[in-house]
Amino acid sequence: MNSLLLDLISSFEADSKSPKERYEQFLIYTYLTFEKKIKSARSDTLKNKYKKIQKNILQSIIANKSEIIKKIR
């Protein structure tokens, strides 16, 4: 698991106790975190970089759902 994903997991605080809801909240949290970075970036190059990272991280989260659920407990 890459370090950026581990940083997102460590900074995430869930409101729910259900693992499924925590996972869904984590997906939303990750998406919104990168959306803030994309909106605050001034150059198109930086915006595209964040969009690419966002896409890759979200794909990784979806591909490793069971492992992510264990880590966000």
What's the mean per-residue pLDDT of the chain?
Answer: 93
pLDDT, average across residues 41-50: 95
Q: Which of 6-10, 14-18, 52-56 has the lowest mean pLDDT?
A: 14-18
Sorting pLDDT into bands at 50, 70 and 90, what band is 13? very high
Region label for 49, one of left (φ > 0), alpha (ψ between -120 and 50) or beta (otherwise): alpha
Q: Which residue ranges make up each domain of the chain?
A: 3-71
Rounded CA gap, 55 and 11, in Å?
A: 19
The pair of structure tokens assigned to 46 is: 């930086």
**Confidence at residue 66, expressed as pLDDT on a 0 to 100 scale:** 94
Between these two residues, 2 and 37, which has the higher pLDDT value?
37
> Is pLDDT above 80 for 1?
no
